[in-house]
A and B are shown apart, each in its own frame.
Chain A
Amino acid sequence: MTDLPLDFGDPTELGELRAQFRVWLAEHPLPQRHADEPVSTFLNRWHRLLYSGGWVGLDVPTQYGGRGLSTLHQVAISEELADCGAPGVPRIGYLAHAILEFGTEEQRARLLPRMLAGDDVWCQGFSEPGAGSDLAGLTTVARRDGDHYVVRGQKLWTSYAQYSDLCLLLARTDTEPTAPRHKSISAFAMPLDRAGVTVRPLRAANGDDEFCELFLDDVRIEKAELIGAEGAGWPLAMTTVSYERNALDTGHISKYGLVVERLRRAVRERRTELADGLISEVGQCVVDYEVLVAHARRRIAERLDGQVAGPESSIDKLLMTRAEQRLYETALRVFPEALLEEAGSGELFGEYLYSRAASVYGGTSQIQRNIIAKRLLRLPSGD
C-alpha cells in the first residue's frame, strides 16, 4: 500500500554495483557499429561483451548463468546503460522470467544459460492477425501427433524474428469448441530453423524492420519444447506482458531523459525565439519525465518493501505512454526541421513515429484502462 512512508533511496549495495559497473564501462568502451555490420550482429556483439562482464541477467539464479541478485540490481544496470547512451540491449528479462517461472528444471538449465550468454536470440510469438487485444482468441493450433506437436497458424508483430533462433510461441492445444479459452493455450520454445517456418519482416511506419510476420505450416515441435504444462500458456503470457509493461523497465525512462535534456537546452539557447506556449509544453514534458522517475522509484521502493508486481503495471504503462507521446509531439514542435528531412530510425521523426506505437503495443491504452477498472478498482463487469 502507498499509505506508509517509503524509502526512495538506493540501498547501499545498489550504489556499489553501479560503481563497479561504471569502472567496467570505463575499461570496456561502448562498441561502435562497423560500416556494413547488420544491426542484429552489432547488438549481439554488445550483448556478449556485457555478458562477459557479468552484466546480463543479474536477477537470474547463478546456476542458469545469471548473478542471483534482485530485479532491482538489474534495473540499476539498465538505468546506467541508458544514461550513458549505450545501444539498446536485447530485452530478455521478461522471457527469462517466463522460463524461470514456468519451465521445467531441464528447460531452465538448457535454455537460460544460452539466452543470457547471447548464444540464442529469442523472439515472442503471441499476437496474430485475428488476435491482437483479444489475445486469448488466438487460432494457431498445436495438434498432438504421437510425441510431437504439429503447429499451424500465423503470428504477427514478432519483433526481430528474422534475427532470432528461438520463439516463445503461444498456440492452442485444445480445439474442442467447449474448451475454456484461457485454459486451452500452451507455450512452446520453438526453434526458428524448423521446416515450415517462414519469417517475413514487416516494414514499420518509421522504415524499421523490427516487426515480423511468422507463417507456421505444419511445424513439428518436440514435446520437450512445451514450456510448463499443456494448457498453462495463458498465465505464462500474462506474466510476460506484465513484466513488459512495468515501470521498472527504466531503460525507456532514461531514454526520455536524454530527449528532455535536449528540449531544455533548446529553451535556454532559443528563449526569445520560442513561443511561451511551447516553453510551457517543454515544462510539461519535464514534469511528465520527473513524475515517471519518481513513479519508477516508488515501484522499486514498494518492491523492496516486499510487494509483488500485479495489475498496477497498467498504470505504469499509461504513464509511460503519456510521457513518451507528449515528449515527441513537443520535440517536433521545437525542432520542426525534423519534418523537412529524410529521417530514418534513431532520428527525431523516426522516434516520433515509434512513439505513436506506445499506446498500442504491450496492450493498448484501452486494454490497460479495462484492467485498471476491473482488477484495481473492482468495478463490475457488463455481463
Chain B
Amino acid sequence: MDAEEFQAVRDLLRSFVTRFGVGSGMPDPKTRAAARQTLDDLGLSELRSSTPPAATAQECALLAEEHGRQPMTTSFIGTALLAPELLRLLGDHALPECAAPTIALTEDLRFPGVNHIGGLAAWDCDGADAALCVAADGTVTVLELGPPAPTADLGRAVRTIPKDSPSQELGRLDPAQYAQWQAFALVMVSSELLGAGRSLLEQSVEYARDRHQYGRAIGSFQAVQHILADATVLVEACTSATRYAAWSLDDQQPTQALKAGRVAKAETNTSLPEVIRAAMQVFGGIAQTWEFPAHLYLRRILVGSLTLATTPDLLAVLSGADSEAAA
C-alpha cells in the first residue's frame, strides 16, 4: 500500500478499537456481535488473501499492534491475518469460499510439533467456523470447531476441536512456505502483544503525571521514573525486534525471517510481562480491581507469552541446542 492508503486503513482500525475496546467488565453478547460485524465490514481479511498481498507483512504487523492497543473481544490475528496468509501460501485449495477459518494450535496453544499427539484448539476464533491446522510436515487440514475452551485471556476466543472432527486435507506447504508461515504467525502475535504493552505503558506514564501524593506528581519521584524508563527500554526492544522481523518477511529468505520471528517472540515473551507489571505498579490500587482493564492486559500478555512458542521452546532453538525441526 502507499503511505496514504495504509494510514487510512489504520485510522479505520484505530477508530474501531477506540469504539469497541473493553473499558470495564466484559461486554454482553450483543455488543460482541456488533464489534465482530464492524470489524468484518472493514474487510481486512483481504490484506493477505491475494498474491502478491495487498499489504506487506510490516504493514500487517503495524495493524496487529493497533488491534492490540485495547482489550478486544474480536479476533483479528487468527481470522483476518493468519488463516488468509496460510491459504495464500497454499495456493490452490479446496476450502469452500464461504468458510471463515481461523488457525488450530495444540491444546496448550503452541504450534503443532513433530511429536504432537494431544488434542487441538481453535485459537482466536471469534466469528470463525473452521480451523486450519498445519502439521510439522507442512500438511494443512481443515477441522470443525467444538465448544468454547477456557482461557485466562478473557477477550480471546478459543474453542476445542473435537477428537473425532472430520478433517479434510487442503494441501501441503513446502519447507520454505512452512518457515514463512511460522515466521508470519510469530511476528503477528508478537505485534499484537506489543500493541497491548505499549498502550498500557503509555497510560501509566500519563497517570504518573496526573496522580499526586505528598503534594507532587508521583511521576516526579525517581523511583517511579526508573520503573517507567526501564519499561520503555523493553517496549523499544520489542518494537525493534518485531518490526525488523516483519520487514524480514517482506525482504529476506524465509529461514532468516523465521529466525528474526523467533527472536521477536522471545523478546516479547519475556519483556512484555515485565512492562505490564511495571505499569500496574505505577497505577497502584486501581490496577488490582476487576473494573480497571489492567488485568485484561496482563491476562492477554501472559497467555500470549505461551502462544505459538514458549520462551524455553525458542531459547532451545536459538541457542543451537535443539534442531530446527523440534520447534
Is B315 in contact with A280, judged by CB distance below 8 angstroms?
yes
Partner of B219, one of A264, A298, A380: A380
Chain B residues near A322: list those with CB within 8 A: 233
Q: Give A269's nearest chain B residue, CB to CB.
A: B320
Which of B54-62, B73-81, B100-108, B273-281 contacts the other chain?
B54-62
Question: B203 near A: Cβ within 8 Å?
Answer: no
In the bound complex, residues from chain B placing their C-beta under 8 Å from that of A8 are: 243-244, 247-248, 251
Residue in B216, B221, B320 whose CB lies within 8 Å of A267: B320
- With a cutoff of 8 Å between Cβ atoms, the chain B residues found around residue A297 in the complex are 240, 244
Q: Which residues of B contact A312 (CB under 8 A)?
A: 236
Whole-angstrom distance between the alpha carbons of A115 and B236 in the complex? 36
Contacting pair A369 B315 (CB below 8 A)? no
Kindly list chain B residues whose C-beta atoms are within 8 Å of the C-beta of A319.
Answer: 233, 236-237
Chain A proximity mask over B76-104: 1 for CB below 8 Å, otherwise 0: 00000000000000000000000000000
In the complex, B183 has a CB within 8 A of chain A = no
A324 CB → nearest B CB, Å: 14
Q: Does B189 contact A (CB under 8 A)?
A: no
Asked if A16 is an interface residue, CB under 8 A from chain B, the answer is no
Any A CB within 8 A of the CB of B226:
yes
Contact between A283 and B315, CB atoms less than 8 A apart: yes
Q: Which residues of B contact A35 (CB under 8 A)?
A: none
Shortest distance between the CB of A326 and any CB in chain B (Å): 12
Stretch of B19-27, B41-49, B260-268, B287-295 on the interface side: B260-268
Which of A55-63, A211-219, A230-238, A287-295 faces chain B? A287-295
Whole-angstrom distance between the alpha carbons of A263 and B270 in the complex? Answer: 21
Q: Which of A264, A366, A377 contacts B228 (CB 8 A)?
A: A377
Establish whether residues B237 and A376, one from each chain, have CB atoms under 8 Å apart when the complex forms: no
Taking A373-B225, A379-B219 as contacts, is the C-beta distance between A295 and B236 under 8 angstroms?
yes
Complex Cα–Cα for A366 and B230 (A): 10
A287 touches B315 (CB 8 A): yes
User: Chain B residue with minimal CB distance to A7?
Assistant: B247
Instruction: Judge if B12 is at the interface, Cβ distance under 8 Å.
Output: no
User: Chain B 226-253, CB within 8 Å of chain A: the 1/0 string?
Assistant: 1011101100110111011101100100
Q: A291, B237: Cβ atoms under 8 Å?
A: yes
Let me know if B241 and A291 touch, CB within 8 A.
yes
A239 within 8 A of B: no
Q: How far is the CA of A319 from the CA of B244 in the complex (A)?
A: 16
Contact mask A293-320 → B, CB, 8 Å, 1/0? 1110110000000000000100100110
CB pair A376–B320 under 8 Å, yes or no, is no
Q: For the complex formed, measure the closest distance between the CB of A294 and the CB atoms of chain B, giving whole angstroms.
A: 3
Q: How far is the CB of A249 from chain B (nearest CB, A)?
A: 16
CB neighbours (8 Å) of B319 from chain A are 263-264, 267, 279-280, 282-283, 286
A31 CB to nearest chain B CB (Å):
33
CB of A20 within 8 A of chain B? no
Distance, CA A280 to CA B316, complexed state (A): 6
- In the bound complex, residues from chain B placing their C-beta under 8 Å from that of A366 are 226
B232 near A315 with CB under 8 A, answer yes
**A291 B240 Cβ-Cβ under 8 A:** yes
Return chain B residues, CB-CB under 8 Å to A378.
Answer: 209
Q: Which of A1-41 contact B (CB under 8 A)?
A: 2-9
Q: Which bucket holds chain B's interface residue count? A: 35 or more
List A contacts of B224 (CB < 8 A). Answer: 379
A225 → B minimal CB distance (Å): 38
Restricting to B197-232, which residues have a CB under 8 Å from any CB of A? Answer: 205, 208-209, 216-217, 219-222, 224-226, 228-230, 232
Q: How far is the CA of A2 from the CA of B62 in the complex (A)?
A: 10
Of the candidates B62, B225, B236, which one forms a contact with A379 in the assembled complex, judged by CB atoms under 8 Å apart? B225
By the criterion CB–CB under 8 Å, are A290 and B260 in contact? yes
Most-contacted residue by chain B among A3, A4, A6, A291 (CB, 10 A): A291
Q: Which residues of B contact A271 (CB under 8 A)?
A: 321
State A273–B318 Cα separation when bound (angstroms). Answer: 18
Q: Give chain A nearest CB distance to B116 CB in angstroms.
A: 21
Does B306 belong to the interface (CB within 8 Å)? Answer: no
CB distance from A139 to the nearest CB of B (A): 25
A370 CB–B CB distance under 8 Å: yes
Question: Given A3-B62, A8-B251: A372 and B216 within 8 A (CB)?
Answer: no
Of the candidates A283, A293, A374, the one whose C-beta lies within 8 Å of that of B316 is A283
Q: Give the residues in chain A near B260, CB-CB below 8 Å.
A: 290, 294
Q: Is the CB of B240 within 8 A of A376?
A: no
- The CA-CA distance from A11 to B267 in the complex, in Å, is 27
B325 at the interface (CB under 8 A from A): no
Tell me, in angstroms, the Cα distance from A318 to B230 when the chains sit together.
9
- B56 touches which one: A5, A280, A382 (CB < 8 A)? A5
Query: Mask for B161-194, Cβ within 8 A of A = 1, else 0?
Result: 0000000000000000000000000000000000
Q: Say how far A117's CB is from chain B's closest CB, in angstroms.
A: 36
| Interface flag for B118 (CB, 8 Å) | no
Residues of the B chain whose Cβ atoms lie less than 8 Å from the Cβ of A374: 225
A380-B251 in contact given A279-B316, A315-B233, A319-B233 (Cβ < 8 Å):
no
Residues of A within 8 A of B263 (CB): 286-287, 290-291, 294
17 contacts between A and B (CB under 8 A): A5-B247, A8-B244, A283-B314, A283-B316, A283-B319, A287-B263, A290-B241, A291-B240, A291-B267, A297-B240, A298-B239, A318-B233, A370-B225, A372-B232, A379-B205, A380-B217, A381-B220
Given A5-B247, A290-B259, A380-B216, 4 other A-B contacts at CB below 8 A?
A290-B260, A294-B260, A368-B229, A379-B228
Interface set of B (CB-CB < 8 Å, partner A): 3, 6-7, 56, 58-59, 62, 205, 208-209, 216-217, 219-222, 224-226, 228-230, 232-233, 236-237, 239-241, 243-245, 247-248, 251, 259-260, 263, 266-267, 270, 311-312, 314-321
